[in-house]
Amino acid sequence: EAGVAQSPRYKIIEKRQSVAFWCNPISGHATLYWYQQILGQGPKLLIQFQNNGVVDDSQLPKDRFSAERLKGVDSTLKIQPAKLEDSAVYLCASNQLNTEAFFGQGTRLTVV
């Protein structure tokens, strides 16, 4: 089966600029997650969607981060304005209820 697709793979922006990441989950997977992985650390959940509804966004910095999953399939994660500490790999994952979570390749963001 096709995996979780993410784009772009890499992005370099200046602080205070905006950036958007895109994720296409595995077909049929109702649950989609966005994780932030800072270098040397484990992935940290930013937001979880079930179909097109938000299940958990308690760790999403809502003053600058936003995410949507229109039509319950693709999702976009946006940062505006970016800060230096947002430099990380942004991982998208998806699964069906109570099954293995599959990760995309991630988008490596560098904020300079």
Partner 1 sequence: GENVEQHPSTLSVQEGDSAVIKCTYSDSASNYFPWYKQELGKRPQLIIDIRSNVGEKKDQRIAVTLNKTAKHFSLHITETQPEDSAVYFCAARTNSGYALNFGKGTSLLVTP
Shortest approach of partner 1 to residue 12 CB, angstroms?
16
User: C-beta of 81: minimal distance to partner 1 in Å?
Assistant: 26
Task: Find where tokens 């947002």 sit.
Answer: 86
Is residue 97 part of the contact set for partner 1 (CB under 8 A)? yes
**Rule CB under 8 A: which of 22-41 touch partner 1?**
33, 40-41
The count of other CB atoms within 10 Å of the CB of residue 23 is 26
Cβ(93)–Cβ(4) below 8 Å? yes
Tell me if residue 72 falls in helix, strand or coil.
Answer: helix
How many other β-carbons are positioned within 10 Å of the β-carbon of residue 85? Answer: 10
Binding status of residue 90 toward partner 1 by CB under 8 A: no
Q: What residues form DSSP beta bridges with 50?
A: 31, 53
5 contacts partner 1 (rule: CB under 8 A): no
52 binds partner 1 (CB under 8 A): no
**Binding footprint of partner 1 on the chain (CB under 8 A):** 4, 33, 40-45, 48, 50, 55-56, 58, 91, 97-98, 100-106
